[in-house]
């Protein structure tokens, strides 16, 4: 089973051009399934003996382990793709995972800041109001040395996420040649290794211009263990390419410093980008192109957040609401 999973991962990587995040998810999901198929002290159940009853039993096992419906649905999707590959390669005759229904997931409308709240939040970052309070003299000195550097970098990150609506993986994957500073355009590599070009506005341009000298300082830092990334746009404090997790942490940090009652994360800024464009009259097809969605139905999810915001305004403002 392990060798087959490795071949499946190679297929995702080299033929499907799946992103590193997607590959990690598929690998973990299939390794968990293989573990279920291998009871303690016994051999793994042969591939040809896996039918819909085995997969249904695995679904029950996941629910017994208190996995939520979204996790169960994701693992089922991974198994369907895996067995589809196995059918294609003639390891099995049919896909048993297709016979198992996906759990019905609740429709969640993402909570995002309003345009006014986003503008206030970004203005506070620009003015340097969102800086952590150091508790000790030693911490104050350390914080003071890095505060301006990291704040300018972080402001550029948040501005760009909101201005261009790009995914966090697309942001950390940006290289210097992907940024057209004169035309204010980004070339990003999206899901399935699909390339697209997206614009960004004057506020993001201003934040980026303030960040470029900071980037040179980060790159010049002599930390022997760090693998330098001279081509990457966004760097960590060691001069290496910034990672997804760091961006998630810094976005949440600034939302907390703003005392904002938002569950803010990088994807919230992507939702805010689309919802605010839609509210201002942008065409849904244009938003689809900017977001890099294959299907318009995926983009239409953002209309739900827009309608919810309009209803909230109506309920608060209309005398007969």
pLDDT of amino acid 273: 87
76 φ/ψ angles, rounded to the nearest 5 degrees: -65, -40
**pLDDT surpassing 50 at residue 9:** yes
* pTM flag (> 0.95): no
- All domains in the chain, ordered by first residue: 2-99 (1.10.150.130), 116-259 (1.10.443.10)
**How sure is the predictor about 18, in pLDDT bands with cuts at 50, 70 and 90?**
confident
pLDDT tens digits, residue range 212-251? Answer: 999 998 888 766 565 778 899 999 888 889 988 899 999 9
Cα distance between residue 204 and residue 157, in whole Å: 9
**Nearest one of 88, 33, 25 to 55, comparing CA atoms:** 33
Under 8 Å between Cβ of 170 and 149: no
- Is 128 a residue whose pLDDT tops 90? no
All residues at 6 or more sequence positions from 166 whose CB lies less than 8 Å from its CB, including other chains: 160, 186, 188, 198, 270
pLDDT of residue 228: 76
Whether 169 contacts 21, CB under 8 Å: yes
Q: CB of 171 within 8 A of CB of 270?
A: no
Known catalytic residues are 167, 191, 267, 270, 293, 302
The span from the CA of 60 to the CA of 217, in Å, is 54
Beginning with the edge strand found earlier in the chain, give each strand of the sheet holding 185-189 in spatial order.
Answer: 179-180, 185-189, 195-199
């Amino acid at each position: 089973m392990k060798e087959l999973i490795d071949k499946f991962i190679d297929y995702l990587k080299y033929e499907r051009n799946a992103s590193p995040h997607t590959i990690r998810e598929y690998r973990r999901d299939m390794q968990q399934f293989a573990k279920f198929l291998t009871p303690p002290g016994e051999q793994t159940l042969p591939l040809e003996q896996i039918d819909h009853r085995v997969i249904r039993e695995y679904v029950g096992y996941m629910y017994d382990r208190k996995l939520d419906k979204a996790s169960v649905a994701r693992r089922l999707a991974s198994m369907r793709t895996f067995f589809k590959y196995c059918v294609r390669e003639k390891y099995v005759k049919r896909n048993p995972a297709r016979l198992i229904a996906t759990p019905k997931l609740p429709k969640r409308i993402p909570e995002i800041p309003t345009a006014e709240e986003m503008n206030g939040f970004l203005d506070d970052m620009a003015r340097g109001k969102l800086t952590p309070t150091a508790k000790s003299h030693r911490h104050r000195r350390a914080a003071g040395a890095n505060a301006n550097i990291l704040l300018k970098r972080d402001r550029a990150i948040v501005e760009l996420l909101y201005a261009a609506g790009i995914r966090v993986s697309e942001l950390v994957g940006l290289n210097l040649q992907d940024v057209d500073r004169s035309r204010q355009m980004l070339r990003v590599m999206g899901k399935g290794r699909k390339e697209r070009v997206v614009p960004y506005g004057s506020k993001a341009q201003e934040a980026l211009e303030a960040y470029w000298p900071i980037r040179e300082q980060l790159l010049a830092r002599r930390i022997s263990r760090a693998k330098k990334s001279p081509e990457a746009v966004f760097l960590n404090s060691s001069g290496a390419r910034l990672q997804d997790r760091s961006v998630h942490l810094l976005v949440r940090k600034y939302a907390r410093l703003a005392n904002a009652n938002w569950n803010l994360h990088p994807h919230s800024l992507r939702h805010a980008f689309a919802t605010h464009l839609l509210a201002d009259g942008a065409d849904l097809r244009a938003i689809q192109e900017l977001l890099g969605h294959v299907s318009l139905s995926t983009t239409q999810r953002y209309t739900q957040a827009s309608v919810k915001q309009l209803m909230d305004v109506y309920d608060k403002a209309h005398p007969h609401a």
